[in-house]
Amino acid sequence: MIAFALILAGFGLLLSGLFSGSETALYRVARLRLELAAATGDRVMAAVGWLAARTWLYIGTVLTGNNVANYVFSMGVVLLIQNAADLRGADAETAAALLAAPLLFLCGELLPKRLGLAAPFATLRRCGPLLVFFALLFLPISLLLYLWDRLWKAFLSKGPEDVRSFITDRELRRILDEAREAGLLFDMQRELASRIFAASSQRITACMRPLSHFPVVPWNAELAELEAAIRQDPPFALLQDPNRKRLPAGYVDAVSILLRRGQSGRLERRPLLRVPADETVVEVLTQLDERGEPLTLVQDRDGAPMGVVLKSDLRRMLLSDDLHPREKPADAASLT
């Protein structure tokens, strides 16, 4: 019985070290290094990267695993004291707490966390298979914790995603500082990267222009009407949806109008790219670059137009000192 108690306590101590060290290593390791290792065919690090990308899953795994480890270790120590010292009840539990707490703190918490902090990549490489195994084993419990978190987030403004975004931003800034100190980045490159990171959490609604800033003309308007309506800033005219007069469906730009003078039939009327109001500045700028579009329409949850965002405004904002422009109210009066 004493041998069984020792095995039980040792197993609980190992589990505690596994989850404590892996938790610190997951927060400490650079996500880019995980992706590079996965790209080279490292299946263990690919699985760890997959787990790290799902915050709710690895947090649920670590929380559940630590509780299981502490319970198994405590039960093993209590059984050991009951059989070795012939103590029972409250006396055994008190002795177990006095003897086990320092050992659990030192070997199950402090040392594994120090190891995960000092060598996160090596720690995850060794512990990765077991961590993924327990993530799948505790998946039902993690799902319950995830649903509970979503329920709370419906009433609160902050959630784990916001905390994760803060941690990621701090990690990226630390990497940039180290790269600058090593001579890999110039100050201007670091400053631009820092501004992009700062804009990654900025909502696109803070950068949009009201609809009243843009002339709105019928979709099939003649070239002369477009020339009369278009302005120098911004050099675009919105085109009404033929079926839904209150909504813009496309746009034309001043350069196209000047190039097509006398060739109204060849004027290109481009459809408007649409993005939801909860998108970030970086996400919208990426979409505009990928689609090759100079502007996009911002919509609310019901699909109603709120304003227009110009790619030139987003780039100007990233190069300026003000990353938090005042949000301009949308005005749909020109579409009525």
* Full 3-state SS string of the chain: CHHHHHHHHHHHHHHHHHHHHHHHHHHHCCHHHHHHHHHCCCHHHHHHHHHHCCHHHHHHHHHHHHHHHHHHHHHHHHHHHHHHCCCCHHHHHHHHHHHHHHHHHHHHHHHHHHHHHHCHHHHHHHHHHHHHHHHHHCHHHHHHHHHHHHHHHCCCCCCHHHHHHHHHHHHHHHHHHHHHHCCCCCHHHHHHHHHHHHHCCCEHHHCCECHHHCCEECCCCCHHHHHHHCCCCCCEEEEECCCCCCCEEEEEEHHHHHHCCCCHHHCCCEECEEEECCCEHHHHHHHHHHHCCCEEEEECCCCCEEEEEEHHHHHHHHHCCCCCCCCCCCCCHHHC
The single residue listed with the structure tokens 């003309």 is 217
Q: Cα 103 to chain center, whole Å?
A: 37
Most confident of 31-35, 199-203, 234-238: 234-238
Q: Which residue has the higher pLDDT, 156 or 106?
A: 106
How many other β-carbons are positioned within 10 Å of the β-carbon of residue 274?
Answer: 13
Q: What is the pTM of this model?
A: 0.48
What is the C-alpha separation between 215 and 225, in angstroms, rounded? Answer: 11
pLDDT for 64:
92
Q: Distances in Å between the alpha carbon of 207 and those of 93, 184, 322?
A: 61, 32, 11
Q: Is the pLDDT of residue 322 over 80?
A: no
Task: Give yes or no for a contact between 298 and 327, defined as CB atoms under 8 angstroms apart.
Answer: no
Please, how many CA atoms are within 13 Å of residue 5, restricted to the half-sphere of its CB? 15
Single-letter amino acid code for the residue at 246? R
What does pLDDT average to over the chain? 77
The single residue listed with the structure tokens 């301009």 is 328
Q: Is the pLDDT of residue 309 over 50?
A: yes
Under the banding of pLDDT at 50, 70 and 90, the label for residue 318 is: confident
CATH code for the domain defined by 205-335? 3.10.580.10
pLDDT for 265:
54
Per-residue pLDDT, averaged over 116-140, amounts to 89
